[in-house]
C-alpha cells in the first residue's frame, strides 16, 4: 500500500486507508496532506475524485490547476458554461487538503458547488464537507417569512427573535448540537 499522505508537521506517512479512517496525524493531530510528488495512477490528484469521464480539455485544465497550486501561483481561467469548471476545480483541489473558500456571484452557483461536492462524495466514497455561508434571507426556513418581501421578512424575523417565538430558531439550536456530535455536516443548497 503506497504511503500517499503525510503529516506536514512531523512527516509521518499514511496510506489511503489510514487517511480514510482518520484525516489527522496519529502523533500530532495535524490535518494530513496528500503527497504531490507521489504519482500513482490509483490515487493521483484529481483522478481519484473527478466524478465524470473527463474529456481532454478538462484533463488539461485539472493538470494546470495542480501545477499552479504546487507552485503556489494564481490561475486565471475562462471557460464556457457547461465546461465542468466547478467539478474540475473541486476534484483538483480537494485531494490537497487545503481549506477551500469558494466564492461565487450568485446563489445558484453556490448550489452548484454543493451539488458537485455531493456528486464527488457519492462517486468516490469520500466525505468532504461544506458550509454554505449565505445571508439570512436565503437560509431562513420559516415558511411565514418565505412568503414575504425581503424587508418584511427581516422585520418579522426580528420580532419573532425578540419574542423568542421562532420555533425554527430553537429547533435550529438542536440541529446545531446534532451537527457538532456528528462531524459530517449535511450539504444543502
Q: Could you list the residues that contact ligand SF4 (CB under 6 A)? A: 136, 140-142, 145, 157, 160-161, 166, 168-169
For helices 85-93 and 107-124, the axis angle rounded to 10 degrees is 50
Q: Name the residue nearer to Zn ion (CB basis): 25 or 43.
A: 25
Q: Pick one of ligand SF4, Zn ion, none as the site partner of residue 28 (Cβ within 5 to 8 A by kind).
A: Zn ion
**Shortest distance in whole angstroms from residue 131 CB to ligand SF4:** 16
Q: Does residue 132 contact residue 188 with C-beta atoms inside 8 Å?
A: yes
| Cα separation, 13 vs 35, whole angstroms | 9
Nearest to 94 by CA among 126, 70, 67: 126
Q: Name the residue nearer to Zn ion (CB basis): 32 or 110.
A: 32
By the rule CB under 5 A, 28 interacts with Zn ion: yes
At residue 125's C-alpha, the angle toward residues 39 and 112, to 5°, is: 95
Chain residues in the site for Zn ion (CB under 5 A): 7, 9-10, 25, 27-28, 30
Amino acid at each position: 500500500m503506497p504511503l500517499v499522505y503525510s503529516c506536514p508537521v512531523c512527516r509521518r506517512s499514511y496510506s489511503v486507508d489510514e487517511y480514510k479512517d482518520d484525516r489527522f496525524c496519529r502523533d500530532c493531530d495535524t490535518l494530513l496532506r496528500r503527497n504531490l510528488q507521489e504519482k500513482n495512477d490509483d490515487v493521483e490528484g484529481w483522478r481519484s475524485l473527478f466524478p465524470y469521464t473527463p474529456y481532454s480539455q478538462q484533463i488539461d485544465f485539472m493538470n494546470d490547476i495542480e501545477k499552479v497550486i504546487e507552485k503556489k501561483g494564481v490561475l486565471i481561467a475562462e471557460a464556457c458554461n457547461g465546461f465542468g469548471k466547478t467539478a474540475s476545480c473541486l476534484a483538483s483541489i480537494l485531494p490537497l487538503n487545503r481549506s477551500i473558500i469558494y466564492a461565487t456571484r450568485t446563489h445558484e452557483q453556490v448550489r452548484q458547488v454543493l451539488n458537485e461536492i455531493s456528486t464527488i462524495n457519492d462517486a468516490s466514497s469520500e466525505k468532504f464537507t461544506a458550509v454554505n455561508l449565505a445571508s439570512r434571507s436565503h437560509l431562513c426556513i420559516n415558511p411565514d417569512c418565505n412568503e414575504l418581501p425581503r424587508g418584511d421578512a427581516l422585520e418579522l424575523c426580528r420580532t419573532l427573535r425578540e419574542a423568542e417565538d421562532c420555533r425554527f430558531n430553537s429547533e435550529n439550536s438542536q440541529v446545531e448540537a446534532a451537527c457538532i456530535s456528528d462531524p459530517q455536516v449535511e450539504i444543502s443548497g
